[in-house]
Structures are given as C-alpha cells and as structure tokens.
C-alpha cells in the first residue's frame, strides 16, 4: 500500500506527528511519501497512491493557508481516495474545548469545499522557545485560558502517541506496531 502524507506545521509538532506516522507505516511494510504543503517546489503526484493523510496545525482558529489552498485545489482528486484529516491544536487537548477544536475543522471544510473520509482531532504541544510576545499572549489569554497549564512551566507535549497509533491502525485497516 502507498500512503501520501501532506502536512503543514508552524512550530514543528505536526512535523513530528507525521514523521511518527510515517515511521509506523514503513514499519508495517508500506510505502510512504511526505510532502510539506508550504514547499511549492515539490510536485505532488497521486500516481499509485492508495490513501492520503492530511495533517495541519491550528493557529488563531485556522489551518495554514497553503494547506487550505492545497485542499481546495485538489478537492476532486482527494475525494476519489481514502483520506484522513488530522487537525492538531491545543483545544483538542482539553475535553471542555473539544467542540471548538471541531469547529476549526468544520470551518475549514466550508472554506475549502473538501470533505475528508475520516477526521481526527489531535492534541499538539506548547513550545515556548518558538513564540514571540504576540504568540505568548494569544496562548496565555485565548488558547489556554481557564486551563491549569501555565506557560511559565515551559514546553509541554499534549500529543497522545498511543492514541495516534490507534487512529492510524483504523485508517490503514491493519494493525501498526
């Protein structure tokens, strides 16, 4: 089986997530190709592709523009294949903000016209070293508002790797590691 992974990452957590998925897919004996949606020099081919994973992070309620442009432009080709959309956000880390995390996906589907075959909301990470003053303020006063986590604690990964393996197995239709 050949799996194409298209991704968009700003601070790197989605990049780490797709590399983890790619390693699992290869370990299960399948072929995988990773494409960064921000890299316009890489041609994307669907030749021989059986399944597509689309993964991107949320910043200020939206997934990165190049990612959305890709979904809108390739809508027909993508909808002819089996697809899994992975939306990485911090609101996916907390039960009381899961609905909001789902809204980011719903809004993206409305903007792009693309509907994935399956979807997963995946918790991202706090990476304090990557933030400027504005980003820290958004995280502290909007994204993490009302939650126990204090940015002063430094970096923290909310991503649940075992859960991600389960999502991947379900999508692949076969067990992975």
Ligand X SMILES: Cc1cc2nc3c(=O)[nH]c(=O)nc-3n(C[C@H](O)[C@H](O)[C@H](O)COP(=O)(O)O)c2cc1C
Task: Compute φ and ψ for 120, nearest 5 degrees.
Answer: -140, 135
CB of 59 to ligand X, least distance (A): 4
Indicate which single residue of 6, 58, 172, 176 sits in contact with ligand X (rule: CB under 6 A).
58
Does 90 help bind ligand X (rule: CB under 6 A)? yes
Query: Do 156 and 15 touch, CB atoms closer than 8 A?
Result: no
Does 2 help bind ligand X (rule: CB under 6 A)? no
CB of 129 to ligand X, least distance (A): 11
Considering only residues 108 through 147, tell me which ones interact with ligand X, judged by CB under 6 A. 124-125, 131, 135, 138-139, 143
Minimum CB distance to ligand X smaller for 2 or for 62: 62
DSSP readout, 127-171?
A: -GGG--HHHHHHIIIIISTTSS--GGG--EE---HHHHHHHHHHH
# binding residues, ligand X (CB under 6 A): 23
DSSP readout, 19-38?
A: HHHHHHHHHTT-EEEEEETT
- Which residue's CB atom is positioned nearest to ligand X? 124
Neighbours of 54 (CB within 10 A): 25
Angle separating helix axes 98-112 and 65-73, nearest 10 degrees:
50
Does 59 help bind ligand X (rule: CB under 6 A)? yes
Q: Which residues bind ligand X (CB under 6 A)?
A: 9-14, 57-61, 88-91, 101, 124-125, 131, 135, 138-139, 143
């Amino acid at each position: 089986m050949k799996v194409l992974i298209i991704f968009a990452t700003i601070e790197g957590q989605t990049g780490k997530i797709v590399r983890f998925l790619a390693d699992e897919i290869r370990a299960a004996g399948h072929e995988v190709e990773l494409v960064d949606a921000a890299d316009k020099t890489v041609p994307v081919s669907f030749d021989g592709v059986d399944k597509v994973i689309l993964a991107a992070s949320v910043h200020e309620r939206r997934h990165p523009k190049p990612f959305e442009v890709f979904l809108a432009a390739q809508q027909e080709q993508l909808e002819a294949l089996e697809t899994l959309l992975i939306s990485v956000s911090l609101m996916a880390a907390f039960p009381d903000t899961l609905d909001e995390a789902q809204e980011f996906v719903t809004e993206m589907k409305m903007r792009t016209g693309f509907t994935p075959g399956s979807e997963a909301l995946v918790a991202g990470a706090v990476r304090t070293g990557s933030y400027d003053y504005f980003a820290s303020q958004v995280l502290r006063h909007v994204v993490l508002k009302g939650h126990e986590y204090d940015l002063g604690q430094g970096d923290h990964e909310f991503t649940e790797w075992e859960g991600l393996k389960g999502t991947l197995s379900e999508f692949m239709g076969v067990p992975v590691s």
